[in-house]
Amino acid sequence: MQMRFNRMEWAGSVGDLGTLLPLAFALIMINGLAPGGLFLSIGLLYIFGGLYYRVPIAVQPMKVVAAYAVALSLSAEVITASGMLMAAFLLLLGSTGLTDFVARIVPRAVVRGVQMTTGVLLLSKGVQMVIGNGDFQKLQGSVEPFLSSQSIGPVPMSLLIGVAFALVTFLLLNNKRYPAGLVVVVLGGVVGALLGAGNELKQVTLGFHLPEILPFGLPTWTDFSYALLVLVLPQVPMTMGNAVIANRDLSFEYFGDESRRVTDRALCMSMGLGNIASFLTGGMPLCHGAGGLAAHYRFGARTSGSNMIIGGAFILLAVLLGAGSVNVLHLLPMGVLGVLLFFSGSQLALTIMDVDNRTDLFIIVVMLGIALASNLAWAFGVGICLHYAFRMGRLSI
C-alpha cells in the first residue's frame, strides 16, 4: 500500500495519544524513566513498524506492566528488566513459531471478547480522565496538572475541556477537510498553552540529544526475578490476546490483503526488537495494541504514512529536546486526551457487531465482566475455557 501524507493521515497519526501519553507521563514522573529514550524508542518502533507492515500499526505501553509499575512506584531498573524479559519471550515465540500454535487454539469469540473488553476499558478510562478521575490525575492530585486553573466554579476544568472537545470531535468525525484528530490535538495544544501549560516550555532547551545507553545500568538478578513475577507473568496473556491475535485480526478486518505482513509471528518479532531498543535507552515496555490500531483508523489513518508522521514527531522530540520533550507534550490537557481515548475505545468495542451467535455473545459478555472485576488476562483464560466447554457439549446457554 502506497504511503500517503494527507490531512487524514496526519489526523489518524495522533489518534492514539490518549492511551500513550498519560501512561508515559506517569512512568517518567513517578518511576523515573528517561524521557528522551522513551520517546525515541516509541518513534523508532512506529517508523520501522510502518516500513515493514506497510499498513498503520500502533505503538503502546504494555498496560499491565505500566499500571503495576505506577501503582507500586517501582524502580526504573525493574521496569526496564520487565521490558527485556518480554523481548526475550516474544522473540522466542516469533522465531520458533510457537505463536502460531497459540493463535490456533484461541477462538474467534475470544478474540472479539478481547477487543470488546479492551474497547470498553479504554472508553471508561477516557471518561475518567474527562471527569478528572484518571489514574495520573489522582496521582498528581489535580484534574489538569499542567494548567493554571483547575475549575470554573464547581465544574472541573477537565470536564469543561472534555465536553467542548467531544462536541468538536462529533461534529468533525467524518470530515475530511478538517479531520477531527488533527483539529483536536492542534486546538488542544493551543488551549493548553493559553491556560497555563505554556509555562512548561520555559524548561525546554533546543539542541542535539542522543539517548544514554543503559542510563540506569544493568538490572540486577533481583530486578529481573521481581519483574518476572510481578510484571511479566500477568502481562503475557494480555499481550498474546490483544497485541498479537486481536491486533492481527483487526488489521485484516480494516485493510484486507494489504495487511498480509501483519502475522502473529511478525508482531512478536517487531515487539521483541522494539523492547530491546526500549531497554537500552531507558524507555518503557512497548506493544502493538488492537486499541491503538482502532484509534489510528477511527481518526483517519489508512496507510503507513501515519506511522512515519507520528514516529518522526517522537524521534524529533527526543533528539532535539531530550528530557524537555515531555514538557512539550504537557500542552495537551487531560480532558483532550480523555476524548481521544473515549472515541478510540468505542471504535474497538464496535468490532463485535459481526457476532450473531448466542454462545459467542455469552463468552464476550462474561469476559467483559471478569475483566472489569479483575483483569484481561483472567478474562482471556476463562473465555478460552468456556469456548471449549461449549464445544464439547459440557455447557449450554
pLDDT for the residue numbered 277: 96
CA distance 58 to 308: 12
pLDDT for the residue numbered 230: 81
CA distance 118 to 259: 22
**Domain ranges for the chain:** 7-108+129-336
CA distance 248 to 255: 11
Question: What burial class does residue 221 get, using C-beta atoms within 10 Å of its C-beta: 0-12 exposed, 13-18 middle, 19+ buried?
Answer: exposed
pLDDT for the residue numbered 265: 95
First to last CA, the chain: 44
Length of the chain: 397
pLDDT for the residue numbered 96: 92
Q: Are 242 and 116 in contact (CB under 8 A)?
A: no
Within 10 angstroms of residue 153's Cβ, the number of other Cβ atoms is: 5
pLDDT for the residue numbered 235: 84
Nearest to 278 by CA among 92, 59, 12, 98: 59
Contacts of 70 (CB under 8 A, 6+ apart): 23, 26, 27, 30, 31, 135, 139
Q: Which residues pair with 61 in a beta bridge?
A: 286
pLDDT for the residue numbered 20: 87
Cα three-residue angle 268-216-35, rounded to 5 degrees: 70
Within 10 angstroms of residue 51's Cβ, the number of other Cβ atoms is: 14
Nearest to 345 by CA among 121, 61, 113: 121
pLDDT for the residue numbered 94: 92
pLDDT for the residue numbered 165: 95
Q: Are 333 and 82 in contact (CB under 8 A)?
A: no
CA distance 41 to 282: 9
Q: Are 9 and 303 in contact (CB under 8 A)?
A: yes
Cα three-residue angle 24-25-31, rounded to 5 degrees: 85
pLDDT for the residue numbered 196: 92
330-356 per-residue burial string, b: 16 or more CB within 10 A, e: under 16: bbbbbbbbbbbbbbbbbbbbebbeebe
pLDDT for the residue numbered 289: 87
Q: Are 81 and 258 in contact (CB under 8 A)?
A: no
Give backbone dihedrals phi and psi of 286, rounded to 5 degrees, phi first. -120, 155
Is beta strand 151-152 parallel, antiparallel or unpaired with respect to 155-156? antiparallel
Within 10 angstroms of residue 178's Cβ, the number of other Cβ atoms is: 12
- Residue 296: all three cell numbers together: 489510528
CA distances from 6 to 58, 178, 191, 255, 357 (A): 19, 11, 24, 18, 40
- Residue 238: all three cell numbers together: 494480555
pLDDT for the residue numbered 26: 83
CA distance 186 to 32: 28
pLDDT tens, residue order, the chain (397 aa): 789 999 999 999 998 988 788 888 888 987 899 999 999 999 999 999 999 999 999 999 998 788 778 767 889 999 999 999 999 999 999 999 888 888 788 888 888 888 888 888 888 888 999 999 988 898 889 999 999 999 999 999 999 999 999 999 999 988 888 888 889 989 999 999 999 998 988 888 888 998 899 999 999 999 999 999 888 887 888 788 889 999 999 999 999 999 999 999 999 999 999 999 999 999 999 999 888 999 899 999 999 999 999 999 999 999 999 988 888 989 999 999 999 888 888 888 888 888 888 999 999 999 999 988 887 778 888 999 999 999 887 777 7
- Residue 216: all three cell numbers together: 540506569
DSSP 147: S
Q: How many alpha carbons fall within 13 Å on the CB side of residue 65?
A: 32
Q: Are 325 and 313 in contact (CB under 8 A)?
A: no
- Residue 212: all three cell numbers together: 544514554
Nearest to 28 by CA among 56, 69, 57: 69
